[in-house]
Structure 1
Amino acid sequence: MAIPGQKQLTHMEEFMEGIWKQNPVFVMVLGMCPVLAVSVSAVNALSMGVATTFVLVCSTLLVSLIRKVVPKEVRIATYIVIIATFVTIVDYLIQAISLKLYDALGAFIQLIVVNCIILGRAEAHASKNPPLRTVVNAMGMGLGFTIGLFALGSVREILGAGKLFGVSLFGPDFQPWVVMVLPPGGFFVLGTWLLLFNWLKQRKPAAAQPVEAHVHG
């Protein structure tokens, strides 16, 4: 829903919002519990990202479709039931595909139900926008969350095990940084990525200023 006096975003801008301007991990810093807990490897990170994206897209689409018939008094409860339904589907799918992966992700699959990214998108966006715009926004947010998870998982697996997707990168002489697969490693890597992301965001406006000054001059 466009705010009065504010230009409505195009579908591409809507999609890119979640990847860059409102990235759930690097900008909004949401869903940190699964981000730090499951990002010990690239496979775990991508799996959780895909699972969260599936729930996010499906649940927000359904919320958008029924937004005009759900009473305001029970909307949050309705959203939670919808989200829990899709989380249950994902839970069974992961069990069917790989029990090893299911054990690695543990309780964090079920905790997608209370992931503030999904509930926030349902309340702030899906309940106010048509289905197509909702799906585009949800896909952008889901991809942004997956990128954030993969950025952590890949670095932690490379430094903590000398591997990526289970493939050895440095040979038998490499000494793994064991701290990277422990909880402190998650905080170290997240802090480094946040520092880099904020530096890039600040650098972009700074680079545009000389160009604007030259044009007005």
Structure 2
Amino acid sequence: MNATYRELTLAGLWNNNPGLVQLLGLCPLMAVTTNVVNGLGLGLATLLALVASNFAISLVRDYIRAEIRIPAFVLIIAGNVTLIEMLIHAYFPELYAILGIFIPLIVTNCIVIGRSEAYASKNPPLHAGYDSLMMGIGFMLVLMVLGGLRELVGNGTLFAQAHLMFGEAARGMTISLGTDFKGILLAALPPGAFIGLGCLVALKNYIDKRMAQTAKASQPITRQPLGEAA
């Protein structure tokens, strides 16, 4: 049975978030998230690759033999990622230079391949497209939040490189904690990414636990009628 759109939304954004629950795509998650803009750029590229590839895979799923489905899926994903890479290179050259090899590596990202095999190959196009949209947004949000935390703690700024995506007018978007803030170098280094992601995962687990406790406490207590045997 196909999941409802509400279930797909909750799964992608929270309950089965690729970055916080499935812990997929950790290589770009750790390497690129030095600031918000880098996370947004790679997150959007991954989102577009997910939606385009999974929608296409769902359309042709009945025409691909089971023995060659993975190579066929990879070819479809590679074609979409190549197109996205060319667009980023053409319109956002400075951002492309920063993201570098991590854009073509989307082809082998476990999130994209995993959703194509687990969902797109078994469900109709609209459901597959919506599932990939929610998974992509969930992953992009994790990239942005982690990038924002590392940028804020490491450099004392937010949106410092917004002009790479939004033009020179976006230089005024930069938020700074002041020139006196020296920053914590650890946040800008790879270990800072592991620590930051660990904190986000711990926070999500804590929220889930509190929500479960609240839901359990709000359930009515059923009392056994008098006179019935225990």
Regarding TM over 0.5, the answer is: yes
Displacement of 1:141 in angstroms is: 0.3
Question: Which amino acid in 2 is paired with 1:202?
Answer: K
Number of residues paired by the alignment? 210
Query: In the aligned structure 1, how far is the partner of 2:36 from the partner of 2:23?
Result: 20
Displacement of 1:148 in angstroms is: 0.8
Displacement of 1:215 in angstroms is: 4.4
The answer on 1:206 being equivalent to 2:213 is yes
User: TM-score, normalized by length of structure 1?
Assistant: 0.94
User: After TM superposition, which residue ranges in structure 1, 4 or more long, deviate above 2 angstroms?
Assistant: 214-217
Q: Which residue in 1 is equivalent to 2:159?
A: 165
Match of 1:127 among 121, 126, 136: 121
Query: In the aligned structure 1, how far is the partner of 2:117 from the partner of 2:3?
Result: 18
Match of 2:105 among 97, 102, 111: 111
Deviates more, 1:161-170 or 1:24-33: 161-170
Displacement of 1:16 in angstroms is: 2.2
Residue deviations 1:17-57, cap 9 Å, x none? 11111000011111000000000010000111100000000
Task: Give unmatched runs, 5+ long, in structure 1.
Answer: 3-7
Displacement of 1:216 in angstroms is: 2.7
Q: Which residue in 1 is equivalent to 2:25?
A: 31
Residue deviations 1:93-119, cap 9 Å, x none? 111122211111111111100001110
Question: Which amino acid in 2 is paired with 1:110?
Answer: P
Summarize the Cα distance change of 1:121–1:206 in structure 2 as closer, same or farther, 3 Å threshold: same
Q: Which residue in 2 is equivalent to 1:5?
A: none
Query: In the aligned structure 2, how far is the partner of 1:168 from the partner of 1:61?
Result: 38
The answer on 1:136 being equivalent to 2:130 is yes
Task: Give unmatched runs, 5+ long, in structure 2.
Answer: 161-173, 224-230
Q: Which residue in 2 is equivalent to 1:156?
A: 150
| Backbone CA RMSD of aligned residues | 1.1
User: TM-score, normalized by length of structure 2?
Assistant: 0.89
% identical aligned pairs: 41
Residue deviations 1:166-205, cap 9 Å, x none? 1142111111111111111111111111110111111111
1:160-199 correspondence to structure 2 within 5 Å: 160-166=154-160, 167-199=174-206
Question: Max radius of gyration: which structure?
Answer: 2
